[in-house]
Amino acid sequence: MKNIVVLVSGGGTNLQALIDAEKRGDIKGGKITCVISSKEDAYALERAKNNGIKTVVLKRKDYPDVASYSKAMAETLTTEKADLVVYAGFMTILDNQVCSAFPYKMINVHPALIPSFCGKGFYGLHVHEAALSKGVKISGATVHFVTEECDGGPIILQQAVEVKNGDTPETLQRRIMEEAEWKILPMAVSLFCQDKIQIIDGKAVVTE
Ligand code: GAR
C-alpha cells in the first residue's frame, strides 16, 4: 500500500474527491496518510480531520525564503514516508530540493489544458480569467508530474470542458472541477499507486 500525502492551501474540494474515491475503493494500492497545509485556516484541514486523516500545518510565512520552506517540506514528506505527493490546490512554490527528493513521485492538478494558461501566476481563478479573456471555447484540467519547471512536467491525464456563453471565472472554475478535476485527479492517483504510469522519453505513458 502506497502512502499518499496531499498538499493543500485552500478549500480542498480536490482533497475531498480523493477521500471520496478512496472510500469507494477507487484508489487501488494507496491510502491517504497525511494532509499538509501551507495555511492554518485552510478548510481542507477540516475535511482531513473529519475523515480521521493526520494533518500537518507548514506555514509559508514561518520561513524566510523558498529554500528554507522547501527544506522543511522535504523533511516532513520524508518523515511521513510519502510514496506519492499530490498537490491538490497547493499554492506555494517549492524549489528543486523537493522535486529531487521525490522524482516523478509528485503530481499536480492544474485547472486548464496545459500548455495553455499555465506557469507562473496562473493559479486558481486567475487561470479561468485568462481563459475567458482569450475567448477559448474549450478549457479543462490537467494532471501532471511536478518537476522543476512550473506546470511543465510530464502530462498524465487531461479532460476537456466546454466554455459556455456568459461564463464567469467562478462558473467556469466550478464546471472544470466537477467535470474534470474531481474525476482525473483520483484516476491519476489510482494509476500511480498501481504502477501504471511510466516515464518514456520524458513523457508519461499510462499502461493498462
Ligand atoms: C483547483 O481548481 C486547482 O486545480 C487549482 O486551485 C483549485 C483548488 O481548489 N490549482 C491551481 O491553480 C494550481 N496551479 P480546491 O482547494 O477546492 O481543491
Whether 112 is in the pocket of ligand 1, judged by its Cβ within 6 Å, is: no
Do residues 113 and 138 make contact, with C-beta atoms less than 8 angstroms apart?
yes
pLDDT for res 25: 98
Q: Could you tell me the end-to-end alpha-carbon distance of the chain, in angstroms, rounded to an integer?
A: 19
**Residue-wise pLDDT tens digits, 112-129:** 999 999 999 999 999 999
Q: Annotated catalytic residue: which of 110, 126, 128, 144?
A: 110
Q: What is the pLDDT of residue 208?
A: 75
What residues contact 190, with CB distance under 8 A and at least 6 apart?
Answer: 21, 26, 27, 28, 29, 30
Cβ(109) – ligand 1 distance below 6 Å: yes
Enter the C-alpha cell of residue 199.
516515464
Is the pLDDT at 39 greater than 90, yes or no? Answer: yes
Q: Is 144 a catalytic residue?
A: no
Pairwise CA distance, residues 181 & 111, whole Å: 7
Distance CA 105, CA 3 (A): 11
Integer Cα distance of 21 and 33 in angstroms: 14
**Cα 102 to Cα 208: distance, rounded to the nearest angstrom:** 24
Which three cell numbers, joined as nine digits, stand for 195? 504502477
- From ligand 1's centre to the CA of 17, what distance in Å? 12
For the CA atoms of 171, 186, 126, 62, the dihedral, rounded to the nearest 10 degrees, stands at 130
CATH topology of domain 109-208: Rossmann fold (3.40.50)
Confidence tier at 37 by pLDDT (50, 70, 90): very high
- Common-topology check for domains 1-102 and 109-208: yes
pLDDT at 96 over 80: yes
Which residue has the CA at smallest separation from atom 10 of ligand 1? 89
- Centre of ligand 1 to C-alpha 34, Å, is 18
Ligand 1 lined by 128 (C-beta under 6 Å): no
Q: Where exactly are the structural domains of the chain?
A: 1-102, 109-208
pLDDT > 90 in the chain, percent: 99
Please name every residue paired with 114 in a beta bridge, in sequence order, or none if there are none: none
Kindly state if the Cβ of 45 falls inside 6 Å of ligand 1: no
Report the alpha-carbon distance of residue 88 to residue 43 in Å, rounded: 13
Q: What is the CATH number of domain 1-102?
A: 3.40.50.170
Mean confidence (pLDDT) of the chain: 97
Residue 188 has φ and ψ, to the nearest 5°, of: -65, -40
89 lines ligand 1 (CB under 6 A): yes
Is 44 in contact with 10 (CB distance < 8 Å)? yes
The pLDDT of residue 102 is 97
pLDDT class of 65 with cuts at 50, 70, 90: very high
